[in-house]
């Protein structure tokens, strides 16, 4: 007997973009991106094309009362930099152990404005990334989380956090109505086309028509951020889900090539996600997740080309990744 | 009890990434081209679940979008009706750490809402079409499993439901045996040591015999094991502690009564500390050296709120047997060392370095060994998983290759940590255990893993090396333990802690006992992975992810409650005492009762003999050397050198390691416009929101050791010098550097198998002498170190010994990371200069190894006192803003440093080699130490000359905007004529193809 609720139409969803390797058509079908390069190549990261933001990320006026909960424990490991970034944005960041949150029935969420699922390897990503963590949250705290979102709470998931909130049904959460519990899982993050973990900087284009509150204020210049994961390829349950997320602009960020075009080609796109999808938001725009790590670009010196940027007079005052967190805090203040 | 089998696979139409990777490996390694592969995850639930519950657990584990799964079996449908697959199942052997299984049990508990007993077991199914059973078996043996820790079975098709699960352990007696050795003669004592894997010498066995004769009883098996662990080379560093009669090359003889460690390692550090005091470098109440030599790792002062901690370890033998598990244990093990220093430090950065056989090795591999490429893949994979899953970025990585590492690869792993100066109102670097404090074991459970690891690393490897000597790490269990213990530290819930590594509880509790003068533990309380462990096995098991923590009685309840809340197992085993004895029981049964004095000091010191007696040099190959020196050949040499594995890029593999987590990186492991040139040194902030940084670099030059009769001395000085130059180039302060020494040596004790032991020991003495002299000259304290002294393998009757290898890891500090520099030249129009003089020093150099030249003279000689003056002048010029880029000239000489400048900046590099008595071959490839390649603004050249003119400053040329249509070029002229002219694309192609991805 087989399990798995959603229909198996993931292949059909992107028939136009994927080709079967004819040499191996006799065997079980493995799909590969038509544009995937076979050989290692080096990617050039720009020395700086100006700011991706039309504002200077920094402390948000009125943010002192913004409470942001940053989850930790069970193998999560980006809580320190995420909390540091939120503090740079002026918010009160509290690092909360997942165990305390679940055992306490989520009381810490009372009065909180933002909940951040940080990066890491929750429970070792054993079985699949984020799976055990998502189950624990769903079984232990599902109703409370749904209520937090209904009440306008902001949720940000980064890397393992994105994997987790997608598996929790918080993204893309199509057709979910307030008062309902968590939505069923409609998307997933699976192994990169090139199996294995890879650490490299990527560029993200920002869809200015997306409702996402975390990506507001884009100048159209791509956002450079480090990407580091082994399971970052976004797959959507079926063609209908794909049409909805595209049509409703629920893909706020995409991997782009040097010319700024969304790409499926490695290494600009590290995992082979269709149409360069690097993240998702829900229809409210207040729940956002992405694979790359904006919280690892808080300082100008995080950028691999910071010395060259400074020589060209283009070193930003703070890391551009901070803009995502500042946007979140601004949304909480509004 | 019902067992359920779950099978999960990728939903049809999506990429099965493991199958795809397997297909590539089978083709690349074995030339096998299956028509198709599909993989499945198999999980056996032995958790006492009902069928309905098993279905719910399956639904919770399967990704509804990306996977399909079944309780029982998924259908093995063939793509075409007449082609049944060959089905291979790979699973862990009984008792091997199954971290996936542990997570599945957690997930099942969350799903059914109750605590479960029993286990879950993970394995992998490969369905292969278009290969024969024999071919799949070949793939299983060569690529898909390691028989030491895994079993691989080809299943008959159509498959029957397989519900077998590993059931480790047995109901065997937990009795303590007495070892009647009081009447043994020497032969019997020697036999006992060898057969029992005790690695004790006859003199040591006699000392034990004597001790127990005096006490009027025989030792228990556990006492003998405990002594063997504690007295092992691994734990007691006997070779470094023993008195040595050393005969110099001149024939003069000296007895180093206090041993190498006290004279040279500790001696150098004490001399540096004394000079800092005399010169008033540090504030009186804030000495730079906070804690050295007596803890798990060295501690130095950094800011008013943070100290820095650093330790580098080796994990060689286990990595030879199980590259993945052994190397992972290496990284998570050294994490525990740095973490367990004082009352706990916060892990900041990992480093790794490997010495392997040539990955392109085409010859036969002796029985009992793996191909170097497989070892390399496994080691990388293990350290990647261990470091990444722990959330610690790597900051340094390097690889060297030589046929002599075929028998034993060297796997260096290190960890830098930040220690808060104070926690819970006390200095964090201090432990304050008191008699009556409870001894608590925290973390994983005890199994037979790693039994005899400490003694095993003290013997050479052969085909009979024990399987249980390998442990597999579980980084997540460890991460959860670290998070919990950090909370305990901050709340003041413990008075001391140490790592359970080599020797297990016998070492960790034995060490803690020294601090108060005694300890008493009951092994019956220790949580076990499975039944059937004898008390001596519980005592010395090296099962991973365990710390031994000392908790004051009034904090015990709070400590245990915190552990429970964080799902970390913590068990009180006993308490510290002041009885002068280490007492171990198993329930009512007496297991160990040893005086601490005998345990820690009772081992006999034997006088060792060292005499330089170098082997005859191979004949000089005059014709080949003359041909290689032809000026016209130098361009060819450059391309060949860039493609040698140890000078090749290595970026593709290194990107598997996380180097961005924590968000503190400033100069990361790769630099340049295409970030594929290895950084000379890396820089990382030590805390969010602060400007101070830690700077990491290292030096390792094993090929100098045997290059000439005094190569070991030269090797040590070159290693120190390169480490120092690296961190200074990136921006480190002169007065805040510290170093670690890691010795990996071939057995230096004379025996039947090692007739040249006296020479190898003399090389060790010379190496220590060179190390100490250089460290004193640079004011560089050695704050921690490690030695691994038996790196020989005897396989098929042939002995393979590694070259003597010293790794010097240097940690620097900077006050403001925004002043960091890299090797990358910054702008067209800047000038390139070299600081320091070049001599013809080609012995052991990269070019001689690459071209296979023999008899090219001596290894580089260093002059640390003179270099120290030079570097201080450089630091002054650097801090005055006169230097725009800086790189040490090291392996591969000036030629490689110039190539790196071109690859990093993609500017034309135009150089006129200085006219000296050296020919271009020596000028380009000599590895003379003490040299830096700098770039500067033209306008700053006069000021730079003022600072550095008296230290050997040579103008080499300039950087220019690329003029050629196909990009930047390196143009080197000599004596007014073009010598070398090569484009960046050609260089990069070679540079990126020297190592398999």
pLDDT digits (tens, 9 = 90+) for B507-560: 899 888 999 999 999 999 999 888 888 899 899 888 888 899 999 999 999 999
Mean pLDDT, to the nearest integer, of B47-56?
95
- Tell me the CATH number for domain A47-333: 3.40.50.880
Q: Which residues contact B632 (CB under 8 A, 6 or more apart)?
A: none
Please answer yes or no on whether A42 and B18 come within 8 Å at the CB atom. Answer: no
The residue written with tokens 């206090």 in the block is B258
Q: How far, in Å, CA of B746 to CA of B761, rounded? A: 9
Residue of chain A with shortest Cα separation from B71: A1
Spell out the residues 6+ positions from residue B127 whose beta carbon is closer than 8 angstroms to its own. A28, B37, B38, B39, B40, B76, B85, B86, B87
Separation CA A189–CA A160 (nearest Å): 10
A26 touches chain B (CB under 8 A): yes
Pairing of strands B953-960, B885-888: unpaired
Q: Note the residue count of chain B.
A: 997
Please state the rounded mean pLDDT for residues B662-677.
Answer: 96
CA B451 from chain center: how many Å? 20
| Res B172: pLDDT | 65
B21 and chain A: CB distance < 8 Å anywhere?
A: yes
Cross-chain Cβ contact A228/B660 below 8 Å: yes
Q: Residues A78, A81, A229, A293: which is the catalytic one?
A: A293
- Look up the ipTM and state it: 0.93
- List the single residue in A45, A127, A307 with the smallest CB-CB distance to B107: A127
Q: Is A295 a catalytic residue?
A: yes
CA distance B670 to B610: 42
Q: Testing the interface with A: which of B53, B652, B660, B984 to mutate, by most A Cβ within 10 A?
A: B660
Residue with tokens 């995502």: A324
Write down the pLDDT at residue B811: 98
Contact B673 A235 (CB under 8 A): no
Residue whose C-alpha is closest to residue B898's, from B911, B916, B914, B917: B911
Mutate to test the interface with A, among B661, B669, B670, B679 (most CBs of A within 10 A): B661
C-alpha to C-alpha distance for A158 and A156, rounded to whole angstroms: 7
Q: Given a cut of 50, is residue B5 above it in pLDDT?
A: yes
- Quick: pLDDT tens for B648-660: 999 999 999 999 9
- Indicate the domain borders of chain A: 47-333
Query: Chain A residues with CB inside 8 Å of B129's CB?
Result: 27-28
Q: Are B788 and B314 in contact (CB under 8 A)?
A: yes
- Short-list A36, A48, A30, CA closest to A267: A36
pLDDT per position as a tens digit, B54-113: 999 999 999 999 999 999 999 987 666 567 899 999 998 877 778 899 899 999 999 999
Q: What is the DSSP string of B4-41?
A: EEEEEEEPTTS--HHHHHHHHHIIIII----SEEEEEE
Measure A95 CA to nearest chain B CA, in Å.
12
- Of B801, B884, B695, B733, which is closest to residue B310 (Cα–Cα)? B695
- Are B47 and B105 in contact by the 8 Å Cβ rule? The answer is yes
Query: At A30, is the pLDDT very low, low, confident or very high (cuts 50, 70, 90)?
Result: very low
Looking at beta carbons, which residues of chain A come within 8 Å of B84? none
pLDDT at B184 over 70: yes
**C-alpha span between B260 and B661 (Å, rounded):** 39
Count of CB contacts below 8 A, A vs B? Answer: 280
Residue A198 has pLDDT above 90, yes or no: yes
How far is it, in rounded angstroms, from Cα B374 to Cα B28? 12
pLDDT (mean) for A289-295: 98
8-state DSSP, B391: T
Mean pLDDT of chain B: 92
B751 Cβ neighbours under 8 A, 6+ residues apart: B757
pLDDT tier for residue B29 given thresholds of 50, 70 and 90: confident
What value does the mean pLDDT take over residues B809-819? 98
Above pLDDT 70, what percent of chain A? 85
Q: Give B-chain residues touching A123 at CB under 8 angstroms.
A: 103, 106-107, 476
- Supply angle C-alpha B737, B743, B747, rounded to 5: 170
Q: Is residue A281 annotated as part of the catalytic site, yes or no?
A: no
**What are the pLDDT digits (tens) for B449-480?**
767 655 555 555 554 444 455 667 788 889 99
> What one-character-per-residue DSSP string does B622-640 give?
HHHHHHHH-GGGHHHHHHH
Closest CB to A124 among B129, B475, B824: B475
Top mean-pLDDT range of B137-151, B604-618, B841-855: B841-855
Q: State percent of chain B over pLDDT 90.
A: 75
pLDDT of residue A36: 31
Q: Is the pLDDT of residue B901 over 90?
A: yes
Find the mean pLDDT for residues B756-766: 96
Give the H or E element holding residue B593: strand B589-595
Nearest by CB to residue A199, choosing from B15, B474, B657, is B657
Contact B661 A31 (CB under 8 A): no
Contact at 8 Å (CB) between B297 and B289? no
Distance CA B699, CA B724 (A): 8
Tens digits of per-residue pLDDT, A261-274? 999 999 999 999 99
pLDDT tens figures, B563-613: 999 999 999 999 999 999 999 999 999 999 999 999 988 888 889 999 998
Q: Is A177 exposed, middle or buried (0-12, 13-18, 19+ CB in 10 A)?
A: exposed
Residues B631-646 have pLDDT tens digits of 999 999 999 999 999 9
d(CA B126, CA B143): 13
Per-residue pLDDT, B464: 45
A159 is catalytic: yes
Burial class (CB in 10 A: 0-12, 13-18, 19+), A246: middle
Q: Which residue of A has its CA nearest to B60?
A: A135
* Backbone phi and psi for residue B13, each to the nearest 5 degrees, phi listed first: 100, -20
| Selected residue of B65, B113, B693 to mutate for chain A interface (largest A Cβ count, 10 A) | B65
Q: Which residue of A has its CA nearest to B996?
A: A40
Q: B730 in helix, strand or coil? A: helix
Q: What is the C-alpha separation between B8 and B125, in angstroms, rounded?
A: 10
Beta-strand pair B244-247/B253-256: antiparallel
Cβ-count burial A190-225 (b if 16+ within 10 Å, e if not): bbbbbbebbbbbbbbbbbeebbbbbbbbbeebbbbb
Domains of chain B: 4-155 (3.30.1280.10), 195-257+431-461+472-598 (3.90.650.10), 823-997 (3.90.650.10)
Owner of token pair 């979910």: A176
Residue environment code for B27-45, b if the CB has 16+ CB neighbours within 10 A, otherwise e = eebeebebbbbbbbbbbbb
- Beta strand ranges found along chain A (DSSP E): 2-3, 18-20, 31-33, 67-72, 92-97, 114-117, 154-158, 187-190, 198-206, 223-229, 233-236, 253-255, 279-281, 287-290
Pairing of strands B932-936, B885-888: antiparallel
Q: Residue A20's pLDDT is what?
A: 30
Which of A4, A40, A126 faces B103 most closely, judged by CB atoms? Answer: A126
Q: Which pLDDT score, from 0 to 100, does residue B474 have?
A: 84
Identify the residue among B32, B42, B64 best suited for mutation to test binding to A, counting A beta carbons within 10 A and taking the highest: B64
Q: Tell me what pLDDT residue A29 has.
A: 26
Task: Kindly state whether B186 is in contact with chain A, defined as any CB-CB distance less than 8 angstroms.
Answer: no
Nearest to A295 among B663, B673, B824 (CB): B663
DSSP A41: -
Scored b (16 or more CB within 10 A) or e, A304-327 reads bbbbbbbeeebbbebbbbbbbbbb
User: What's the confidence (pLDDT) of residue A267?
Assistant: 94
H/E element holding B88?
Answer: strand B86-92
Dihedral-angle region of residue B663 (phi above 0 means left; psi in -120 to 50 means alpha; beta otherwise): left
Peptide bond into B158 cis (omega under 30): yes
Whether residue A28 is predicted with pLDDT greater than 60 in this model: the reply is no
CB contact under 8 A, A81 and B19: no
Tokens at residue B854, please?
């023999």
CA of B354: how far to CAs of B323, B561, B710, B745, B787, in Å?
12, 42, 25, 15, 15
pLDDT band at B170 (very low <50, low <70, confident <90, very high): low
Nearest to B36 among A27, A74, A184 (CB): A27
Segment B844-870 mean pLDDT: 94
B687 touches chain A (CB under 8 A): no
pLDDT tens digits, one per residue of B362-399: 888 877 788 899 999 999 999 999 999 999 999 999 99
For B645, the token pair is: 């594995």
β-bridge partners, B913: B974
């Amino acid at each position: 007997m087989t399990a798995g609720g959603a229909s198996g139409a993931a292949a059909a969803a992107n028939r136009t973009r994927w080709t079967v390797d004819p040499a191996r058509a006799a065997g079980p079908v493995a799909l590969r991106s038509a544009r995937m390069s076979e050989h290692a190549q080096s990617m050039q990261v720009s020395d700086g094309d100006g700011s991706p933001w039309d504002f200077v990320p920094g402390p948000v006026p009125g943010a002192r009362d913004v409470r942001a909960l940053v989850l930790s424990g069970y193998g999560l490991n980006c809580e320190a930099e995420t909390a540091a970034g939120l503090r740079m944005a002026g918010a009160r960041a509290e690092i909360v152990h997942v165990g305390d949150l679940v055992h306490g029935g989520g009381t810490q969420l009372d009065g909180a404005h933002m909940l951040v699922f940080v990066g890491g390897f929750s429970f070792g990503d054993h079985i699949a990334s984020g799976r055990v963590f998502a189950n624990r949250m769903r079984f232990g705290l599902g109703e409370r989380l749904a209520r937090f979102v209904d009440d306008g709470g902001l949720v940000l998931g980064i890397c393992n956090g994105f994997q987790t909130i997608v598996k929790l049904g918080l993204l893309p959460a199509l057709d979910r109505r307030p008062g309902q519990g968590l939505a069923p899982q409609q998307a997933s993050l699976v192994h990169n086309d090139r199996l294995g973990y890879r650490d490299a900087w990527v560029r993200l284009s920002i869809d200015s028509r997306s409702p996402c509150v975390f990506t507001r204020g884009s100048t159209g210049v791509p956002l450079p951020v480090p990407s580091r994961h082994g399971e970052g390829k976004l797959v959507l349950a079926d063609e209908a889900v794909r049409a909805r997320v595209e049509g409703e602009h629920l893909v706020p960020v995409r991997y782009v090539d040097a010319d700024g075009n969304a790409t499926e080609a490695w290494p600009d796109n590290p995992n082979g996600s269709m149409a360069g999808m690097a993240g998702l938001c829900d229809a409210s725009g207040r729940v956002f997740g992405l694979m790359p790590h904006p919280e690892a670009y808080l300082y100008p010196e995080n950028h691999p080309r910071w010395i060259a940027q400074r020589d060209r007079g283009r070193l930003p005052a703070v890391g551009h990744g901070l803009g995502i967190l500042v946007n979140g805090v601004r949304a909480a203040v509004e | 009890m019902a067992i359920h089998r779950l099978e999960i696979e990728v939903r049809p139409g999506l990429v099965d990434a493991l199958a795809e990777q397997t297909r590539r490996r089978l083709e690349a390694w074995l030339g096998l081209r299956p028509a198709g592969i599909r993989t499945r995850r198999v999980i056996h639930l032995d958790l006492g679940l009902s069928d309905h519950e098993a279905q719910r657990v399956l639904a919770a584990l399967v990704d509804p979008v990306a996977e399909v799964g079944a309780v029982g079996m998924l259908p093995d449908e063939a793509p075409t009706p007449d082609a049944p697959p060959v089905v291979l199942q790979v699973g862990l052997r009984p008792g091997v750490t199954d971290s996936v299984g542990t997570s599945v049990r957690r997930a099942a508990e969350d799903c059914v809402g109750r605590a479960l007993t029993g286990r879950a077991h993970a394995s992998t199914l490969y369905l292969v079409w278009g290969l024969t059973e024999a071919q799949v078996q070949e793939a299983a043996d060569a690529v898909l499993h390691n028989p030491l820790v895994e079993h691989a079975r080809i299943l008959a098709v159509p498959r029957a439901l397989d519900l077998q699960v590993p059931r480790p352990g047995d109901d065997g007696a937990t009795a303590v045996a007495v070892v009647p050795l009081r009447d043994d003669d020497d032969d019997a004592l020697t036999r006992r040591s060898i057969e029992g894997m005790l690695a004790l010498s006859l003199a040591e066995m006699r000392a034990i015999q004597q001790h127990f004769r005096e006490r009027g009883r025989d030792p228990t098996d556990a006492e003998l094991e405990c002594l063997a662990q504690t007295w092992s080379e691994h734990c007691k560093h006997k070779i470094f502690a023993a008195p040595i009669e050393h005969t110099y090359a001149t024939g003069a003889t000296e007895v180093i009564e206090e041993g190498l460690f006290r004279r040279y390692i500790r001696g150098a550090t004490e001399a540096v500390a004394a000079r800092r005091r005399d010169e008033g470098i540090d504030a009186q109440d804030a000495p730079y050296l906070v804690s050295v030599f007596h803890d798990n790792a060295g501690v130095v002062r950094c800011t008013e709120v943070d100290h820095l901690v650093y330790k580098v370890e080796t994990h060689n033998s286990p990595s030879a047997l199980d590259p993945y598990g052994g190397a992972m244990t290496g990284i998570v093990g050294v994490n525990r060392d740095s973490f367990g220093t004082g009352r706990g430090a916060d892990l900041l950065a990992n480093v790794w370095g490997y010495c392997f056989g040539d990955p392109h090795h085409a010859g036969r591999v002796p029985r009992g060994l793996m191909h170097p490429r497989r070892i390399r893949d496994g080691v990388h994979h293990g350290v990647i998983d261990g470091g990444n899953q722990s959330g610690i970025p790597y900051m340094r990585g390097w690889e060297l290759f030589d046929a002599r590492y075929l028998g034993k690869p060297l796997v260096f792993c290190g960890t830098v940590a930040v220690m808060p100066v104070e926690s819970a109102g006390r200095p964090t670097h201090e432990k304050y255990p008191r008699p009556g404090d409870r001894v608590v074991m925290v973390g994983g459970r005890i199994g037979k893993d790693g039994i005899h690891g400490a003694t095993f690393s003290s013997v050479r490897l052969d085909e009979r090396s024990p399987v249980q000597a390998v442990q597999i790490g579980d980084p997540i269990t460890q991460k959860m333990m670290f998070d919990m213990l950090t909370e305990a530290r901050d709340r003041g819930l413990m008075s001391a802690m140490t790592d359970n590594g080599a020797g297990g509880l016998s070492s960790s509790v034995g060490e803690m006992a020294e601090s108060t003068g005694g300890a008493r533990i009951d092994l019956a309380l220790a949580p076990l992975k499975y039944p059937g462990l004898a008390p001596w096995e519980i005592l010395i098991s090296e099962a991973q992810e365990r710390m031994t923590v000392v908790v004051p009685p009034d904090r015990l309840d709070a400590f245990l409650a915190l552990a429970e809340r964080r799902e970390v197992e913590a068990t009180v085993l006993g308490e510290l005492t002041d009885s002068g004895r280490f007492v171990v029981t198993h329930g009512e049964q007496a297991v160990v009762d040893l005086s601490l004095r005998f345990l820690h000091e009772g081992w006999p010191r034997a006088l060792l003999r060292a005499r330089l007696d170098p082997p005859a040099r191979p004949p000089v190959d005059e014709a080949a050397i003359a041909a290689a020196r032809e000026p016209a050949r130098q361009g060819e040499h450059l391309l060949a050198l860039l493609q040698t594995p140890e000078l090749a890029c290595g970026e593709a593999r290194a990107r598997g390691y996380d180097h961005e987590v924590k968000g503190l990186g400033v100069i990361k492991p790769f630099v340049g416009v295409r970030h594929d040139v290895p950084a000379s040194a890396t820089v990382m902030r030590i805390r969010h929101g602060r400007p101070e940084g830690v700077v990491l670099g290292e030096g390792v030059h094993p090929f100098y050791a045997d290059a000439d009769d005094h190569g070991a001395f030269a090797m040590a000085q070159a290693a120190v010098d390169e480490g120092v130059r690296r961190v200074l180039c990136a921006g480190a302060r002169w007065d805040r550097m510290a170093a670690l020494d890691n010795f990996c040596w071939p057995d230096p004790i004379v025996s039947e198998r090692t007739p040249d032991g006296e020479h190898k020991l003399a090389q060790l003495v010379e190496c220590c002498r060179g190390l100490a002299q250089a460290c004193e000259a640079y004011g560089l304290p050695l704050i921690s170190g490690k030695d691994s002294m038996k790196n020989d393998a005897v396989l098929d009757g042939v002995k393979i010994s590694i070259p003597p290898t010293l790794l010097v890891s240097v940690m620097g500090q900077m006050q403001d990371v925004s002043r960091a520099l890299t090797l990358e030249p910054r702008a067209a129009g800047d000038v390139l200069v070299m600081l320091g003089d070049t001599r013809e020093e080609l012995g052991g150099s990269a070019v001689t190894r690459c071209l296979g030249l023999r008899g090219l003279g001596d290894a580089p000689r260093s002059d640390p006192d003179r270099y120290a003056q030079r570097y201080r002048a450089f630091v002054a010029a650097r801090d005055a803003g006169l230097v725009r880029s800086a790189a040490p000239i090291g392996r591969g000489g000036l030629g490689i440093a110039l190539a790196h400048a071109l690859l990093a900046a993609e500017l034309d590099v135009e150089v006129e080699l200085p006219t000296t008595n050296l020919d271009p071959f020596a000028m380009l490839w000599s590895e003379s130490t003490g040299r830096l390649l700098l770039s500067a603004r033209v306008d700053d050249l006069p000021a730079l000359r003022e600072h550095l003119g008296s230290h050997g400053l040579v103008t080499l040329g300039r950087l220019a905007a690329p003029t050629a249509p196909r990009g930047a070029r390196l143009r080197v002229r000599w004596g007014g004529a073009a010598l070398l002219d090569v484009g960046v694309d050609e260089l990069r192609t070679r540079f990126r193809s020297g190592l398999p991805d």
